[in-house]
Amino acid sequence: MNEGLGLASALVAGVLLGGFFFGGLWWTVRKAVSSRQPALWFLGSMLLRTGIVLSGFYFVSGGDWKRLLAGLLGFIIARLVVTRLTRAAQQPGQLAQKASHAP
């Protein structure tokens, strides 16, 4: 029972880390597009997000490969959720404009 609780908490932590990582990426892209120095935004964001997520996985795994795997599964689940939510946040007019430029 104790192992199952550890795996479930690792899964939840992976979802939170993934939400932070991919939500932060989405936020960075939106801010950097209108910035005068987008490279600085992207570089700083990448270093910050990657450092926090790697540290989070280190503490979540606790040296156990099963917990690390559960955290990675949660990270992938968060990627799917954030991708779906950010795609739904786009306005339909923007999608139509992008589609009209396709060959």
Confidence tier at 88 by pLDDT (50, 70, 90):
confident
Confidence tier at 87 by pLDDT (50, 70, 90):
confident
Mean pLDDT of all residues in the chain?
88
Task: Read off the tokens for 29.
Answer: 């892209």
Q: What number of H helices and E strands is found in the chain?
A: 4, 0
Q: 2-33 and 65-89 are packed helices; what angle lies between their axes, rounded to 10 degrees?
A: 40
Contact 18, 76 (CB under 8 A): yes
Residue 83 CA neighbour count, 13 Å, CB half: 6
- pTM assigned to the model: 0.80
- ∠18-21-27 over CA atoms, to 5°? 130
Looking at residue 45, what is its pLDDT? 96
- Residue 68 or 93, more confident: 68
H helices of 34-91, in order, are 38-61, 65-89
Contact 23, 29 (CB under 8 A): no
Confidence tier at 86 by pLDDT (50, 70, 90):
confident
Calculate Rg over the CA atoms of the chain.
Answer: 17
